[in-house]
């Protein structure tokens, strides 16, 4: 029985959040602090120039008029009775793979927890897929998270394929978007486009395309260690 915080970026009413909450409540003390409205694509933004409002949504459950990162910050500093053993963000309706991790509010919720030193997991499923198939994989990964000695930041994606063929631990792949800016006419633009997957072996996109769940360990340090030494040699002094 562990104290676990759930958040997401699809908002407090999202089905994926409650599938996760129901499942984990059987064995853990689960708290929920999730955005009042959908925050997909909010990335790691925080609300600085206005107060955010916390509203009760049920026992140990709250909505917040903010982003996923706001939710984790407020939960850890002002809501939870104790430090959580883990934070899980999701289950998101739609993949968060490759470069998506930069835009994703789901991943940012988990990353905020990691910044605060708490083990964290982001969970996403194929667009339109059921959430139930993700739950046994969440159990396995959460088990590992709770046993590790240092806080991990993990990104889990579930494929469309049923039954899921297994789990692969993989690196982030590349997913680019064709026509990411669509001109609707005049000065109106729609951001989005069509995703193009590069299925290099050993990547999350590859594992998902083969019918496997994809698990990627992430780090918060964005320093390019490769360039650090080179630039130090040529520019420092
Ligand atoms: Mn979302």
- Tens of pLDDT along 140-180? 999 999 999 899 999 999 999 999 999 999 999 998 888 89
Which of 118, 148, 7 is closest to 71 using CA atoms? 7
Q: What is the pLDDT of residue 190?
A: 92
Q: What is the pLDDT of residue 12?
A: 98
Q: Please tell me the distance between residue 228's alpha carbon and the centre of ligand 1 in angstroms.
A: 34
Q: Please tell me the distance between residue 107's alpha carbon and the centre of ligand 1 in angstroms.
A: 9
Q: What is the pLDDT of residue 132?
A: 97
- What tens digit of pLDDT does each residue of 205-234 get? 999 999 999 999 999 999 999 999 999 999
Q: Please tell me the distance between residue 44's alpha carbon and the centre of ligand 1 in angstroms.
A: 13
Q: Please tell me the distance between residue 183's alpha carbon and the centre of ligand 1 in angstroms.
A: 24
Q: Please tell me the distance between residue 231's alpha carbon and the centre of ligand 1 in angstroms.
A: 38
> Low-confidence residues of the chain, pLDDT below 70?
none
Q: Please tell me the distance between residue 79's alpha carbon and the centre of ligand 1 in angstroms.
A: 23
Q: Please tell me the distance between residue 40's alpha carbon and the centre of ligand 1 in angstroms.
A: 4
Q: What is the CATH number of domain 3-235?
A: 3.40.1210.10
CA angle 77, 80, 82 (to 5 degrees): 95
CA atoms within 13 A on the CB side of 15: 9
Q: How many CB atoms lie within 10 A of CB 210?
A: 15
Q: Please tell me the distance between residue 163's alpha carbon and the centre of ligand 1 in angstroms.
A: 24
């Amino acid at each position: 029985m562990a104290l676990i915080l759930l958040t997401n970026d699809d908002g407090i009413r999202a089905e994926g959040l409650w599938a996760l909450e129901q499942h984990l409540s059987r064995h853990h003390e689960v708290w929920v602090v999730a955005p009042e409205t959908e925050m997909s694509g909010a990335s790691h933004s925080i609300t600085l120039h206005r107060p955010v409002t916390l509203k009760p949504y049920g026992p140990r459950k709250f909505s917040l008029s903010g982003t996923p990162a706001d939710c984790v910050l407020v939960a850890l500093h002002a809501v939870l009775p104790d430090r959580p053993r883990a934070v899980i963000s999701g289950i998101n309706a739609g993949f968060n793979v490759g470069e998506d991790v930069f835009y994703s509010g789901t991943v940012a919720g988990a990353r905020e927890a990691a910044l605060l030193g708490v083990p964290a997991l982001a969970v996403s499923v194929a667009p339109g897929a059921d959430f139930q198939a993700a739950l046994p994989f969440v159990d396995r990964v959460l088990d590992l998270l709770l046993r590790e000695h240092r806080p991990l930041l993990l990104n889990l994606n579930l494929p469309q394929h049923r039954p899921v063929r297994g789990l692969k631990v993989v690196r982030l792949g590349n997913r680019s978007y064709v026509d990411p800016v669509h001109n609707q006419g005049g000065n109106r633009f729609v951001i989005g486009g069509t995703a193009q997957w590069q299925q290099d072996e050993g990547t999350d996109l590859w594992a998902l395309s083969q019918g496997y769940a994809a698990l990627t360990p992430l780090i918060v340090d964005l320093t390019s260690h490769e360039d650090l030494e080179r630039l130090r040699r040529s520019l420092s002094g």
